[in-house]
């Protein structure tokens, strides 16, 4: 019985440690929300480029420590179509990882196709990063 209690205590301690580590890790994740307009005449092509069947640059995003990358499309009351993007950065050096990604030939070619389909918001050259105001753990 004593051995069983010790095993249970050890398992409980590991569970508590794992939970503490995951909470610490979750707090250190960089969450990025961003927005940009999409030209209406490009919607179908843009969707096809981002379809699950097209590998695109997914592996490069993972290599750059970007996870849970999602893009949503919605037409707002002003008549424009907007893309809302979200991803979580799990790396140690965001600027270095983004610089490496920017130099990847396949990413450069991808952006040459996608960038002309988009219209940055006033005052931005590309996606406008949004302010994170709420996150539910």
Provide the pLDDT for residue 60: 97
User: Which residue from 35, 32, 64, 71 is spatially nearest to 50, judged by alpha carbons?
Assistant: 71
Top pLDDT among 137 and 43 is at 43
How distant is the alpha carbon of residue 46 from its chain centre?
Answer: 18
SS3 of residue 28 by DSSP: helix
What's the N-to-C CA distance of the chain in angstroms?
Answer: 37
The Cα–Cα gap between 13 and 85 comes to 38
Q: Which tens digits make up the pLDDT trace of 4-54?
A: 444 444 444 444 444 444 444 655 899 999 999 999 999 999 999 999 989
The model's pTM is 0.78
Q: Which tens digits make up the pLDDT trace of 43-98?
A: 999 999 999 989 999 999 999 999 999 999 999 999 999 999 999 999 999 999 99
């Amino acid at each position: 019985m004593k051995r069983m209690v010790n095993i249970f205590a050890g398992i409980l301690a590991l569970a508590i440690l794992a939970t503490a580590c995951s909470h610490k890790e979750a707090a250190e994740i960089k969450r990025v929300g961003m927005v940009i307009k999409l030209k209406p005449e490009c919607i179908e092509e843009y969707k096809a480029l981002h379809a699950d069947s097209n590998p695109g640059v997914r592996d490069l995003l993972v290599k750059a420590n970007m996870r849970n990358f999602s893009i949503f499309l919605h037409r707002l009351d002003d008549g424009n179509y907007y893309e809302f993007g979200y991803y979580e950065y799990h790396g140690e050096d965001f600027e270095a990882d983004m610089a490496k990604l920017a130099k990847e030939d396949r990413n450069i070619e991808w952006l040459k196709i996608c960038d002309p389909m988009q219209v940055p918001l006033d005052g931005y050259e590309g996606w406008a990063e949004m302010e994170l105001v709420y996150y539910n753990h």
